[in-house]
Each structure stands twice: as structure tokens, then as C-alpha cells.
Amino acid sequence: MTRIPFQLTHAAARHRLAALVLLLASSVVSGRGTEPTRLITIATAHAALVLSNNAAGRILELHFGAVPADLSAFKKAPGREREFYPQYGDGFGENFVPDPALQVTHSDGNTSTDLLCRGQRTQPLDADISLTRLELKDPAYPFFVTLCFKTYFNEDVIEAWTEIRHEEAGEVVLHRYASCAPLLTAKAYWLTQFHGDYRHEATLAEEKLAPGTKVLDSRLGVRAARYCLPSCLISLDQPADEESGEMLGASLEWSGSFALAFELDPENRLRATCGINPLGEEYHLKPGVVFKTPAVLWSWSDHGKGQVSRNFHRWALRYGVRDGQKPRPVLCNNWEATDMDFDEHLIASLFDGAQEIGADTFLLDDGWFGNAHPRNHDNAGLGDWQVNTNKLPHGLTYLAGEARRRGVNFGIWLEPEMVNPASDLFTQHPDWAMHQPHRRADLSRNQLDLDLSRPAVREFAWGAVSNTLATPGVSYVKWDANRFVTQPGSTYLPASAQSDLLVDYNFALYDVMARMAERFPDVMAMACSGGGGRVDYGALKFFHSFWPSDNTDPRDRVKIQWGYSHFFPAASMAAHATKMGGRPMKFALDVAMSGAFGVDMDLRKLASDERSSLAAGIALYKNEVREVVEQGDLYRLESPYEKPRAALDFVSPDRARAVLFVYQLTNAPATPVKLCGLDPQRKYRVREVNLAGATGASPAASGKMIDGATLMCDGLQPSCHAEFDSAVFVLAGE
């Protein structure tokens, strides 16, 4: 692996690029080739999507990659094989027929669509963000498509989506309605996906794409991920490298079924058709209604996947997750300690433990509700969001007060989209659950999905959220969703519109989530879905963090967190120290410190050295680690997929501070770790921290002042060599 030790951001180069980008954004060029062409450039600091609006009004793609040095290369418009948003059924002449981005049946039964551009507008929204809208229309129908692009200049992110509407006499059926379908051009392409079942989320797998179509998808309906994240990397010309090579990252903002399809055509072009998975989700669009597809976030870099990740992280902290700049509280959770077997007294004793170790917030997980059908097991109670008076006779307000008395905030678990058949809710409203006629209800974790397409159900879900969060003292919520859809049927939707269900569901879900964020701006929120089932930027805009996996064994979490880190910043990734796997406490703490730190242990049963290790770890995290990890730039240094250890560092935006983590996964001799992202000229005081439970002496470098260039070229040798050794170094610049 080639590594470029220093961050290659030179102010002069950036200024030159910025000037060029302004020129591109403002210019519409008439070509002097065989066919006149108007260029449309959608650009960020380092990347550009260049489109042409040809003489006929067709939108063709010329380039997606680095900001081009010279526009004259694009004076000739290409043929329809480079159409940016291909439509089904209108013929491509002798050219290759691409996978359509849009397939529609018009109200008169015509299955073809033809889209020509009628207008274009680019509007700066602020110093960083611009919005470009390309207005397309079918010449034969009052059928309109708007291709939309929001550019985040400094973060190097382009957000692309499509809006579809019509004024035809009746409904139009949308069979396929991709968010966007850009073309990539290179000699060869490597795709990195993040797949994995429950407890093995975000597992990285890379393959060279062969001719034909490779699809990453999910068919789960109400959660994007179980077997695959709706995010991927496409490396151009060479396999993905951490700090070098051309690379695009894509992440779909959608929490339902998705499809990211990559078609390598006979001319070696790669079309990336991304959006909602149309399987079973043909949508019936009424006249006058705007169908807005979810957006895809694109980030391009020629500095490898490390830079693509940093682009996503910076974007997310500024725009993509709630309150990106706000420190995440150190959270204690009772799930792994108690499951649903608790009462008021036990929870209060856990508050004592949380106070002793210095946690900020205590989150009461599943099991606090249901009376006629008490939630003592996962077979009852879901849907009955009243506090269980046996377990918690004084209610949530009292419990929150008990937490506050100990200086700890109080949070609560909810699963508002689901119902157990054993519940008052189901007894009263059996038709509120999704099901198919003549089929036996297919239970998963003993529960069913509520049909959020029905307005009364949506309001019920909102009531569950708003009543619970309005409880005095509640300052945090974990929103869970523990099953996916296997019988997508609605008793609310007419027979002719059953396939609208999952699209309507997800828009209704976002409506409830948006209301939560608006009505409860001070309540922090974690997105969870039976582990990491809802890790996507569709949901995350309403949440502060996500639960990556129910696998909290730190050995496995190293890889799971590594996978998610390609798109999601550490501030958003809940990382809890637990006893799963029986690993050394120091290893569990060190792994959790490279995310949004939390603890899930039975705090009553800790040995005194464990308690003091936890307290010291939390104090260290809050005082010296959290800000750099949550707000800094991540450099993945050594991959646990390639090496016997994982190493990563975070560097503060001003490069004055850094934190290095090393996790030994198998026995191997200690060797130096070369850091990245530091200021080469600056001297850093290097200090190994979190030493309780450390094996071996702290390395000689600890306590010394060392310049950034040396740390990046020669590296720093940790004492780790045996399985589950780990080390954390804090670097403070002069």
C-alpha cells in the first residue's frame, strides 16, 4: 500500500481550483464541434460533474471526477449512450440500451418516456452550498422531471436527487425511479461494499467489476441494512487504497429497500444507478404530486478512500447528522446487563454506578412498558407505551428525577413502528399491522410492522414518541426497529395501490422523525434497528448517533467500526465498552474510545479495579479524547483486514492535537505505527494514556516532544504485540 505521509492541501492549489470552479459554475459554453452544446458544471472544491444540454435538449454526461483544467475538451456533445438519466422505452437507436433510471407507464398506457431539458437554474444558497435544478419535460406529455444537485463546496460532496410530477389525466405508474444514474469512466473499476448479517455489520469486501451488472441491494422495506449498507466505494483504475488513487464514495439517504446497480457496458463505461429498490415498490403518482426521490451523496477524491471518508465526515458533522458539533454524552445502557428483567430499585442502583464512573446519561432500554401485556419478554407489550406499574410504580418522571439527583441525565428506549400481537394495541386495531390477505401472519421477534401509510397509525407513532419524550426529565431516546417487512400488505391502501406501501411508509417514518427533531430539539436521539439496521443518512439527519451492532465484543467491534468509518463520523457511532467476549477491560475501553463512548455493563457487579478503570477511562475520554475523536479528521493507518492489528489516528482540524489508537488482534512483534495528518513542522508532546491494565512498559517515546514529520515517516512504536493488547496516545502540539 502506498501512503502519502502528509496531507496534500496546499493553500495556493486550493485557491487556483476555487477560481476555476467559479468560472465553470458560471459559464455556459457553446461548442464548436459538430453539434452545439451547452455545458452545465456542478462542482465542489476538487470534483466536478460536467453535463451537456445538447441541441435537442438532451442531458448528457461528459465527465465526473476531478475539476477539469480545460473546458474545450468538451466542445463536442456525445451520443445518447451518455444520457445522464436514461428513460425506458424511447429507443437509443443503434447505441447500447442502458439500464433505465426512469421507467414509467403514462396514464394512457404508453410505456415510453422522453425527457428534454427546458431550463436550468443554479442558485447559491450560502457561501458553501449551491443548488442546481435541471427542468426536463416529456414533449408529448405533461410529465416533468427535475434533476437536482446540491453541492457542498468545502466538503467536496454532491447530493443528487430527482423530482417527478405530472399533470396527466390519471395516475402515472413509476416502475423505476432512480435518484441518479451517473456514468463513470476509467480503465477498470473496483467496488467496495459493506455487507454482513446481524452482529457482523459493515464487513468490507472489494471486487473488480466484470462486464454486466453488479447490484448491491436490500429488500427489507423498513430498514436499509441487514445484509448490506446503502453506501459503497468505487475505485477507478486500481484497487482502493487508503491515501492514494481516484475514488468515489456513494451513500443513499434512504432507510428502506435500496438498489445500487453498477453496469459495466461494452464500451467499458460504468453506470451507477442508485435509489429505492423498485422491487414490489411500483409507485402510483397522482397528478400534481411531487415525488422526491431520496438523495445520493457523492464524494470524489484522488487521495484514496481516506479522503473520501474525511469528506463524508466533515459533511455529516456540518449537515448530515443532528447537532454535529455537540459533544456526545457518555451513555450508560442497561440492555446487556439486565435485558428486560429489572425494576425501579435495580435501575436506581445502576444510576448510582453511572454516577460513580462519571457517565453523563443513563438510557433505560427495552422492557419498561405494558401492563395488560407486560413487556417482560419480546413476545408482549410492544405498542402499549404506558409505563409498567409493577416494574416502575413511580413512573418515568420519578425515575428521571432519581437519575438527576445523582447528576445523571435520563434516556429511554422506544420502538414506535412495531406491535406484538399480545398487546392492547393489536387487540383494538388488528388492521393497523401490515399483513397480506389469506396469509398467516409472519412474526419476527414475535412482532409485526405497523402500517405507517395509514394516517391514524402515523399519528399513533407520533403520540408514542411525543408523549414519552415530553415526560419531564427525558433527555435522550434510542429509537429501535427490530424487524423488517416480509408481508407488505396494507388494509388502508386500495388494492390498486398496495405497491405504494413501503415508499409511503418510509416518508411517513421521516415525517414522524422530523417532528421529533423539531419538537424536542434538546432530546438527543440514537437510531437503532436490531443492531445496525438503520445506518444511513436518510434517518441520520434526525439523529445524533446510531447503534452499529448488537455485537459489542471489542475484538469484532474493531472491524465493525472500521467498516462504518468509511462514511460515518466517530461522533455518530455509538461505541460501548461491555464485557462481551470476555476481553481485557483496557482493550474494551480503548476500542470504545474511538467512537461515541458508552458503557453497557452491570454496574452493580463491577470489581473495584474495574470500576476505577471505567471512571479513569471516562474522565480521560471527556478531558482529552472526545473532542479530537468527534471533531477531528480520521486517518485509517493499518487495516485489521490486512494486518495483525488495527491502527487509526484522529487529528484536530487545526492539526494541533491528535489521538492514536492501536488494537492488536493477533500476536505479532511490535513495529512502529506511522501516523498521518499531522503538521510535519510542529512538535507534539506524545503521551500514552489509559494505562490501567496495560501490558508491558510504556514505550520510550511516551512523554517526549517529537515533530510531526518524524511521527509520520518513522512512526511511533507501541508496546502492543499480544492479542488484545491496545494503546492510546494523546499528542499535543506546541
Q: Of 44 and 447, which has the nearer Cβ to ligand DGJ? A: 447
Q: For ligand DGJ, which residue of 99, 265, 282, 480 counts as binding (CB under 6 A)?
A: 480
CA distance 534 to 514: 16
Q: Of 189 and 335, which has the nearer Cβ to ligand DGJ? A: 335
Strands (E) in 368-461, as ranges, are 409-414, 418-419, 448-449
CA distance 263 to 272: 7
Here's the x/- map for ligand DGJ, 364-403, by CB under 6 A: it reads as -xx-------------------------------------
Count of positions (residues) in the chain: 734
**List of residues 6+ apart from 695 with CB closer than 8 A:** 719, 722, 725
**List of residues 6+ apart from 517 with CB closer than 8 A:** 322, 525, 541, 542
Angle 664-665-671 from CA coordinates, rounded to 5°: 40
CA distance 464 to 8: 50
Using CA of residue 635, residue 192, residue 260, residue 47, what is the dihedral sign? Answer: positive
CA distance 271 to 264: 7
Is residue 178 involved in binding ligand DGJ (CB under 6 A)?
no
Q: Of 245 and 329, which has the nearer Cβ to ligand DGJ? A: 329
Q: For ligand DGJ, which residue of 153, 335, 342, 587 counts as binding (CB under 6 A)?
A: 335
CA distance 452 to 40: 40
In the complex, minimum distance from the CB of residue 378 to ligand DGJ, in angstroms, rounded to a whole number: 6
Which residue number places its CB atom closest to ligand DGJ? 366
Q: For ligand DGJ, which residue of 163, 168, 206, 550 counts as binding (CB under 6 A)?
A: 550
In the complex, minimum distance from the CB of residue 365 to ligand DGJ, in angstroms, rounded to a whole number: 5
In the complex, minimum distance from the CB of residue 550 to ligand DGJ, in angstroms, rounded to a whole number: 5
Q: Of 413 and 520, which has the nearer Cβ to ligand DGJ? A: 413
Q: Of 87 and 482, which has the nearer Cβ to ligand DGJ? A: 482
Q: For ligand DGJ, which residue of 283, 510, 547, 684 counts as binding (CB under 6 A)?
A: 547
Main-chain dihedrals φ then ψ at residue 696, nearest 5 degrees: 80, 165
In the complex, minimum distance from the CB of residue 473 to ligand DGJ, in angstroms, rounded to a whole number: 20
Are the beta carbons of 422 and 369 closer than 8 angstroms? no
Ranges within 580-619 binding ligand DGJ (CB under 6 A):
none
Q: Of 81 and 366, which has the nearer Cβ to ligand DGJ? A: 366
Ranges within 499-538 binding ligand DGJ (CB under 6 A):
528, 530-531
Q: Write down the number of H helices and E strands in the chain.
A: 14, 36
In the complex, minimum distance from the CB of residue 339 to ligand DGJ, in angstroms, rounded to a whole number: 8
Instruction: State the CB neighbour count (10 A cutoff) for residue 2.
Output: 10
In the complex, minimum distance from the CB of residue 445 to ligand DGJ, in angstroms, rounded to a whole number: 8
Ranges within 402-461 binding ligand DGJ (CB under 6 A):
413
Instruction: State the CB neighbour count (10 A cutoff) for residue 693.
Output: 18
Is residue 662 involved in binding ligand DGJ (CB under 6 A)?
no
Exposed (0-12), middle (13-18) or buried (19+): which is 305, by Cβ within 10 Å?
Answer: buried
In the complex, minimum distance from the CB of residue 203 to ligand DGJ, in angstroms, rounded to a whole number: 17
Q: Of 98 and 530, which has the nearer Cβ to ligand DGJ? A: 530
Is residue 482 involved in binding ligand DGJ (CB under 6 A)?
yes
Is residue 564 involved in binding ligand DGJ (CB under 6 A)?
no
Instruction: State the CB neighbour count (10 A cutoff) for residue 494.
Output: 9
Residues lying near ligand DGJ in the complex (CB under 6 A): 335, 365-366, 413, 480, 482, 528, 530-531, 547, 550
